[in-house]
Amino acid sequence: MNLKTTVLGQTYQFRDLKEVFAKANEEKSGDQLAGIAAADSRERVAAKQVLADLTLADIRNHPLVPAEEDEVSRVIEAGINEKIYQEVKNWSVAELREYILSHRAGDSELKRISRGLSSEMIAASAKLMSNLDLVTAAAKIRNISHCNIAIGQAGVLAARVQPNHPADNVQGIKAAIYEGLSYGSGDAVIGINPVIDTADSVKDILLMTKEVMNKWDIPTQNCVLAHVTTQMRAIRQGAPADLIFQSLAGSEEGNRAFGIDVALLDEADELIRKEGTATGPNYWYFETGQGSELSAEAHFGVDQLTMESRCYGLARKYKPFIVNTVVGFIGPEYLYDSRQVIRAGLEDHYMGKMHGLPMGCDVCYTNHMKVDQNDMDNLGVLLSAAGVNFVIGVAMADDVMLNYQSTSFHDIAAFREVLGLRPAPAFEKWLEKMGIMENGKLTAIAGDPTIFM
Amino acid sequence: MEQQLDMLVDKVVAELQKKLTEMARQTGHPKEQKHDEAAAHETAGEEQPVVAEEPVRMAQVPHPKWQEGLVELLDSTPARIGVWRTGVRPLTKTMLQLRRDHAAAVDAVYGEVSQPLLDEFSLFTVETQYDNTENYLKRPDMGRILNDEGVRLLQERCQKRPQVQIVVSDGLSASAVDANLRDVLPSLMDSLKSYGLTCGTSFFVKGGRVASMDHIGELLQPEVLVLLIGERPGLVTAHSMSAYMCYRPRKGMVESERTVISNIHRQGTSPIEAGAHIGTILSKMLEQKASGVKLVL
Amino acid sequence: MEEQWIKSVGIDVGTSTTKMIVSRLRLGRMSSTFSLPRFQIVERQLLYASPVHATPLLGADEVDAERIGAILRDEYKKAEISLSEIKSGAVIITGETASKKNAQHILHLLAERSGDFVVATAGADLEGVLAGKGAGAQKRSQSIQGNIVNVDIGGGTANAAFFYRGRAIATVTFHVGGRLIRLDEQGRIQYVSPHIGSWLAAKNLYVQIGQTVTFTQIEEVARQMGRSMLDYLSGKERKVSGLLVTGGHLQEVLPIEELSISGGVGELMRTPQVENIAEVSRYGDFGPLLGQMLRHEREQGKVAFRWTEPEQTVRATVIGAGMQSTEISGSTVHIKPELLPIKNIPILKLELTQEHMNEPLRLGQEVRNVYELGQRLFGESGGIPFALALSGIGYCSYAWLQLLSQELSEQYTTIFPRSRTMVVVCETDMAKALGQALSLRCKGVPEIICIDQVRVEYGDYIDLGEPISGTIIPVVVKTLAFDEQA
């Protein structure tokens, strides 16, 4: 394994794969905070150059996080199809990148090769891609999933309605749901982040969302994004949940900080299959985001892009209905400004798609980052062009509970209109029935939440 | 008997209310005159504390199916609903309002706590190693440690091993301190008095993070410590404060060992009520010798 | 503490029947771990419902307190519940029973025999609201755009409550009930309530004691009575139908979208057709016919509103009383547990505005007015003269809290020097801060009980139960004078 290269007359010798991986990343404040980032552009290119020539076998044979020490590594290892891996193991990362971007590789070719790739290999390919590479590659892959309805088809952009309320007031949540539905959002999920972490409160919200869905015959799915154990309690108490949610980290230690492990996810998986209310076969909703492992000091000195990719390796075990990176939520110490957030959003989306996941993105930022709503407009359009399965809809992008900004119901309508995208087919039919949409366009009554009262 | 009493109550109340309306009507005119006087005063240099006026939220949907219902929806949530649209984009006013609130949030991050306010509560200032705001944002670890000057100041000026140590910090919102300290801190002091607790030398930490509690704990060794710190600003309010509390803070404390009351601001958790309740929590920490998840409230 | 169950009973002594229920209410934390604690009733379960007993009477207008006591003793045994377990609930003496001469005596007796729980007496307004809740009208109103009226018709009165979007907005009570006219199986009239005399006269209907009526005659009375009540509610005609109203009239015509009828007569609307006097008089009164005539009104569908089935009929009031009367105060409060429970404290209301915050003198004057009113009404007992309810305070600064607590405490100790406990009920979340400020000023004379997040009105009475887990206070607000604006 060659870890040495010369760039513009300067020779770089990297210590190990971990260092190459970290330094090959585009600039991120999180890698800098961890003290593993490239010192300058030249070192960054050197690392990319070294990485380009490494083979996929090199990556597999030198695990960044040893399987003996980490169950996420074990899940990723166990997921690799050996036959497919054998076909590609002698490819360099450069060859992998070129294959993925080539016209030879379409949707089904990429899906097949994906089964022979580890999360680290996929991460490596992302490191060699420009933003437009990431868009181009991801746009080829359609990962369709089905809970109560199917989303992810070509030409479809779905949206989660995120109707959060600072005190979990059920009426207030309902009000924001009505608003979102009236703009044509809500086909991915009606998903609430609760403030109150009790089974009672989760159950109340699940009941209310189900009631709204039943009353208006809405083809979608509900979810309350409490900790998985709280959702499990609520479901055992009879709460109607279509989806079960959890945030994931890319290491066992990181997941422990979230209060979960693989055994718990397996248990929740069994429960939602038995006692969930949806059609299936996909019942999970996962969220991820670069930086969470470092934040929990559970990153093994590995860069945040690679750790993020490992989240997807874990996620694919559970065949989720939806997965999204909450790309700009974690704060400036991990992603400092709009450049970094936009880059991370495109990376995460690409890596998720390459894992075969129905990948969405919470295009978002907090108020202490050097980002504003214009940057979100940009990333939203880029991701929509890249075929993102879904984005997040919040009233005027302002989440009054989580205190950050995402994309708005207006934004989703605009992404669709500008790029000729549609809601999920079943949902669009319903929007037409309700008179909210006609031929893919919002009608005159769209935007009036009182049509649901 | 009781029924007679009721009738009496009703009668007196009705009279009282009539009188009140009359009073209100009578005082109407003089008040208007007073307005002008007040204006004159203000120009004479008597500055009123500026209260951020929240604009009244109005539904913009031009022809809603149910007008009363729309009002009900807006009343039920601070979320920006009922905003209407032009094509698929928001109306100009709505868009500008969002930008204005974002500006306030950004200002809160980059702002400074008012010195007269700190003087009012005799809080002296120490700094962490944060250096500057950009570095503060990128390097949370540096906001957890006081700089050498800060360490020296604490050792010089603070009572050691107090029962309760109060620390105030700007954190991610200087304006949270400006907006809430006058309510939270004295209410907390009253509460300590009610519980018979004693308090060491309070001070202000510039560029502080939550875990600066640990370093301060090592230096001053209080029984319990409460840190009143500005939260990451949102758009609904940029002035929200949190109170982090800890029993015997020291290096290496984990998140679950801290007890938190967050969202303290005018439209959220009542600042005076939070102050009073922090006293209750601290007294329970002292009683149970624990904080965070181990504390039974 | 995550959750806790408390037991609550409801007892309804009506003109013709007496019922009780036992329920349990689950208190759950409804706040995040990062905010001030807040508990609410998150679940209500009916554990036991007694059979419907005939209300035991001594003669025509006196309820037999001893026998009521015996019924309850028996029912408690059947429900396998001991009095000490009961933490909340309400006793309601409904309809005409309430004006029978020993109502007060019964209430006291029931209070003693029902355990050390919070006992509520009720006026017709509260009864109507509780019955509407028990019948499910309040809940249903949340899902429709218009008003829902539930009318609970018993033996002596019909209590109507209007609900709009989950809130009770008006009540009205009629002298309409099954036992207002009693007759034997030959059709001989045994009793005609004097309350309906003027209405009968205005309608040219003649029913007198001793008179023997035909099926057709009595059917006409029942039809007219049902129709009058409906006319009043819909506003079609109120001059004659208004003669049936007891207590306050409705100020205006409130459009009705849905109507449900609960109570004993509501139940009789579902029973098979009666066709002769013998069938009519099976309970010794014209109740079955009143139910039947209301059913006819419903079937004919002449009125503009939609009729719906109530969730409960005979037991609507008792279920409302047992399961829906208790609220929970905010969980940051200032109390002395040993001073609770306290019962039947009248409310005096101090409504404050922004102007009071800017003008200390006006605040002082306002406080004095209210205290002096309290002094005139309730005297200067050594106990608790009243509970002071504070409303209209939005955001309260510390500076203003000081001003307020100074005015409240100084004037209180001057005007009520012998009172040992001062009770304050705040609408917004500020009880702990205010209680603490008052207490620092009063230093135990008087003691301070300050709770919050409970809405009360002039004329209400309030009961505060024993604290559960230290700071959770069950509260029963007894609305005697219903406020249409509320």
pLDDT band at residue C198 under the 50/70/90 scheme? very high
Q: Is residue C257 part of a domain?
A: yes
- Per-residue pLDDT averaged across A100-104, rounded? 98
User: Tell me, what CATH number does C58's domain have?
Assistant: 3.30.420.40
Q: Are residues C110 and C235 in the same domain?
A: no
What residue of A is the nearest CA neighbor of C1?
A: A198
Say what percent of chain A tops pLDDT 90. 98
Beta carbons of A182 and A447 less than 8 angstroms apart: yes
What residue of B is the nearest CA neighbor of A259?
A: B256
C474-478 and C326-328 beta bridge pairing: antiparallel
Give me the pLDDT at residue A168, please: 92
The answer, for C64 touching chain B at a CB cutoff of 8 Å, is: no
What residue of B is the nearest CA neighbor of A369?
A: B137
Using DSSP's 3-state secondary structure scheme, residue B115 falls into helix
- Per-residue pLDDT averaged across C211-224, rounded? 96
C256-262 and C147-153 beta bridge pairing: parallel
Say if residue A168 carries a ligand binding annotation: no
Give me the pLDDT at residue A274, please: 97
Cα C464 from Cα C476, distance rounded (Å): 7
What are the pLDDT digits (tens) for B276-289? Answer: 999 999 999 999 99
Kindly list the residues from chain B whose CB atom is less than 8 angstroms away from the CB atom of residue C430.
270, 272-273
Q: Are residues C168 and C303 in the same domain?
A: yes
Please state, in angstroms and as integers, the Cα–Cα distance from residue B157 to each residue in B126, B154, B220, C456, following that order.
11, 5, 11, 51
What is the value of ipTM here, to two decimals?
0.95
> Does residue C117 have a pLDDT over 60?
no
What residue of A is the nearest CA neighbor of B67?
A: A450
pLDDT band at residue C108 under the 50/70/90 scheme? low
Mutation target to probe the A interface, by most A beta carbons within 10 A, among C34, C42, C145, C453 is C42
Q: Is residue C30 part of a domain?
A: yes
| Min Cα separation C429/chain B (Å) | 7
Chains that touch A (3 or more CB pairs under 8 A): B, C
Please state, in angstroms and as integers, the Cα–Cα distance from residue A217 to each residue in A94, A163, A430, A447, following that order.
50, 19, 8, 19
Give the domain range for residue C180: 136-311
| Min Cα separation C34/chain B (Å) | 5
Assigned token pair, B104: 């306030």
- Per-residue pLDDT averaged across A329-345, rounded? 96
Q: Which residues 6+ apart lie within 8 Å of C204 measured at CB? A: none
Check C43 against A200: CB less than 8 A apart.
Answer: yes
Every domain of chain A and the residues it spans? 145-452
Give me the pLDDT at residue C480, please: 55
Using CB atoms, which residue from A195, A204, A453 is nearest to C32?
Answer: A195
Indicate the helix (H) or strand (E) that contains C43: strand C39-49
Give me the pLDDT at residue B296, please: 87
What are the pLDDT digits (tens) for A158-209? Answer: 999 999 999 899 999 999 999 999 999 999 999 999 998 889 999 999 999 9
Q: Is residue C251 part of a domain?
A: yes
* Helix orientation angle between A304-315 and A71-78, rounded to the nearest 10 degrees: 60
Domain end position, chosen among C96, C121, C146: C121
> Does residue B217 have a pLDDT over 60?
yes
Tell me the residue length of chain C: 486
Assigned token pair, B51: 């209260």
Cα C7 from Cα A60, distance rounded (Å): 63
Q: Which residues 6+ apart lie within 8 Å of C477 measured at CB? A: C327, C454, C455, C456, C460, C461, C462
- Per-residue pLDDT averaged across C180-206, rounded? 95
Indicate the helix (H) or strand (E) that contains C280: helix C277-280
Ramachandran assignment for B219, one of left (phi > 0), alpha (psi -120 to 50 degrees), beta (any other):
alpha
Give me the pLDDT at residue A50, please: 98
Kindly list the residues from chain B whose CB atom is less than 8 angstroms away from the CB atom of residue A368.
109, 137, 172, 232-233
Taking Cα atoms as reference points, which of A172, A452, A449 lies closest to residue B76? A172
| Min Cα separation B244/chain C (Å) | 10
Kindly list the residues from chain B whose CB atom is less than 8 angstroms away from the CB atom of residue C398.
182-183, 186-187, 271-272, 275
| Min Cα separation A256/chain B (Å) | 13
pTM above 0.80, yes or no: yes
Q: Are residues C79 and C173 in the same domain?
A: no
Say if residue A362 carries a ligand binding annotation: yes
Say if residue A161 carries a ligand binding annotation: yes
> Does residue B21 have a pLDDT over 50?
no
Say if residue A246 carries a ligand binding annotation: yes
Give me the pLDDT at residue C321, please: 86
What residue of B is the nearest CA neighbor of A32?
A: B138
Every domain of chain B and the residues it spans? 115-294
pLDDT band at residue C69 under the 50/70/90 scheme? confident
- Per-residue pLDDT averaged across A401-425, rounded? 97
Enter the DSSP assignment of C102.
T
> Does residue A5 have a pLDDT over 70?
yes
Q: Are residues C107 and C160 in the same domain?
A: no
Give me the pLDDT at residue C119, please: 53
Give me the pLDDT at residue C3, please: 72
Q: Which residues 6+ apart lie within 8 Å of B31 measured at CB? A: none
How many structural domains compose chain C?
3
| Min Cα separation B274/chain C (Å) | 7
Give me the pLDDT at residue C115, please: 56
Give me the pLDDT at residue B32, please: 38
Please state, in angstroms and as integers, the Cα–Cα distance from residue C345 to each residue in C86, C383, C425, C439, C463, following that order.
20, 10, 11, 20, 7
Check C2 against A198: CB less than 8 A apart.
Answer: yes
Chains that touch B (3 or more CB pairs under 8 A): A, C
Mutation target to probe the B interface, by most B beta carbons within 10 A, among A32, A197, A334, A368 is A368
The answer, for C377 touching chain B at a CB cutoff of 8 Å, is: yes
Check B61 against A169: CB less than 8 A apart.
Answer: no
Beta carbons of C96 and C482 less than 8 angstroms apart: no
Q: Is residue C322 part of a domain?
A: no
Give me the pLDDT at residue C121, please: 57
Distance of alpha carbon C268 from the chain centroid: 24
- Per-residue pLDDT averaged across C388-410, rounded? 94
Kindly list the residues from chain A whose CB atom is less than 8 angstroms away from the CB atom of residue B67.
450
* Bridge partner list, C342: C464
Check B80 against A396: CB less than 8 A apart.
Answer: yes
Give me the pLDDT at residue B52, please: 47
Kindly list the residues from chain A whose CB atom is less than 8 angstroms away from the CB atom of residue B83.
395-396
pLDDT band at residue C322 under the 50/70/90 scheme? confident
Beta carbons of C14 and C55 less than 8 angstroms apart: yes
Q: Is residue C398 part of a domain?
A: yes
Assigned token pair, C113: 């025999």
Using DSSP's 3-state secondary structure scheme, residue C470 falls into coil
Q: Within a 10 A sphere around the Cβ of A11, how many other Cβ atoms?
A: 9
The answer, for A270 touching chain C at a CB cutoff of 8 Å, is: no
Assigned token pair, C291: 């139910």
Q: Is residue C131 part of a domain?
A: no
* Helix orientation angle between B92-110 and B174-194, rounded to the nearest 10 degrees: 60
What are the pLDDT digits (tens) for A257-298? Answer: 999 999 999 999 999 999 999 999 999 999 999 999 998 889
**pLDDT higher at C35 or A118:** A118
What residue of B is the nearest CA neighbor of A452?
A: B65
pLDDT band at residue C304 under the 50/70/90 scheme? confident
Beta carbons of C307 and C259 less than 8 angstroms apart: yes
Q: Are residues C157 and C202 in the same domain?
A: yes
> Does residue A356 have a pLDDT over 90?
yes
Give me the pLDDT at residue C96, please: 61
Check A403 against B76: CB less than 8 A apart.
Answer: no
> Does residue C355 have a pLDDT over 90?
no
- Per-residue pLDDT averaged across C173-182, rounded? 95
Kindly list the residues from chain A whose CB atom is less than 8 angstroms away from the CB atom of residue B90.
396, 408, 410
| Min Cα separation B70/chain A (Å) | 6
**pLDDT higher at A395 or B293:** A395
Using DSSP's 3-state secondary structure scheme, residue C51 falls into coil
Please state, in angstroms and as integers, the Cα–Cα distance from residue A370 to each residue in A215, A346, B99, B110, C396, following that order.
43, 18, 14, 12, 35
Q: Within a 10 A sphere around the Cβ of A281, how many other Cβ atoms?
A: 11
Check C29 against A453: CB less than 8 A apart.
Answer: no
Beta carbons of B292 and B256 less than 8 angstroms apart: yes
What residue of B is the nearest CA neighbor of C344?
A: B2
- Per-residue pLDDT averaged across C256-278, rounded? 95
Q: Are residues C267 and C411 in the same domain?
A: no
> Does residue B95 have a pLDDT over 70?
yes
Beta carbons of C138 and C130 less than 8 angstroms apart: no
Check A197 against C31: CB less than 8 A apart.
Answer: no
Say if residue A448 carries a ligand binding annotation: no
Q: Annotate C342-352 with b (16+ C-beta within 10 A) or e (fewer).
A: bbbbbbbbbbb
Beta carbons of A178 and A452 less than 8 angstroms apart: yes
* Bridge partner list, B120: none
Say if residue A2 carries a ligand binding annotation: no
- Per-residue pLDDT averaged across A102-123, rounded? 98
Cα B169 from Cα B177, distance rounded (Å): 8
What are the pLDDT digits (tens) for C432-449? Answer: 999 999 999 999 999 999
Q: Are residues C279 and C415 in the same domain?
A: no
Burial class (CB within 10 angstroms; exposed 0-12, middle 13-18, buried 19+) of A386: buried
Check B272 against C481: CB less than 8 A apart.
Answer: no
Say if residue A439 carries a ligand binding annotation: no
Kindly list the residues from chain C whose CB atom is less than 8 angstroms away from the CB atom of residue A195.
32, 35
Say what percent of chain B tops pLDDT 90. 76
Kindly list the residues from chain B whose CB atom is less than 8 angstroms away from the CB atom of residue C33.
260
Q: Are residues C428 and C341 in the same domain?
A: yes
Burial class (CB within 10 angstroms; exposed 0-12, middle 13-18, buried 19+) of A384: buried
Tell whether domain B115-294 is in CATH 3.40.50.11240: yes
The answer, for B140 touching chain A at a CB cutoff of 8 Å, is: yes
Assigned token pair, B281: 């929590």
- Per-residue pLDDT averaged across C464-486, rounded? 72
Give me the pLDDT at residue C122, please: 58
Cα B291 from Cα B282, distance rounded (Å): 9
pLDDT band at residue B16 under the 50/70/90 scheme? very low
Using CB atoms, which residue from B94, B105, B138 is nearest to A367?
Answer: B105
Domain end position, chosen among C98, C121, C144: C121
Q: What is chain B's mean pLDDT, rounded?
A: 86
The answer, for C395 touching chain B at a CB cutoff of 8 Å, is: yes
Taking Cα atoms as reference points, which of A35, A42, A114, A39 lies closest to residue A80? A114
Domain end position, chosen among C311, C338, C369: C311
Q: Which residues 6+ apart lie within 8 Å of C171 measured at CB? A: C124, C125, C128, C129, C159, C160, C161, C162, C482
Count contacts between A and C (CB, < 8 Å).
22
- Topology, domain A145-452: TIM Barrel (3.20.20)
Cα A96 from Cα A110, distance rounded (Å): 11
Cα C475 from Cα C325, distance rounded (Å): 8
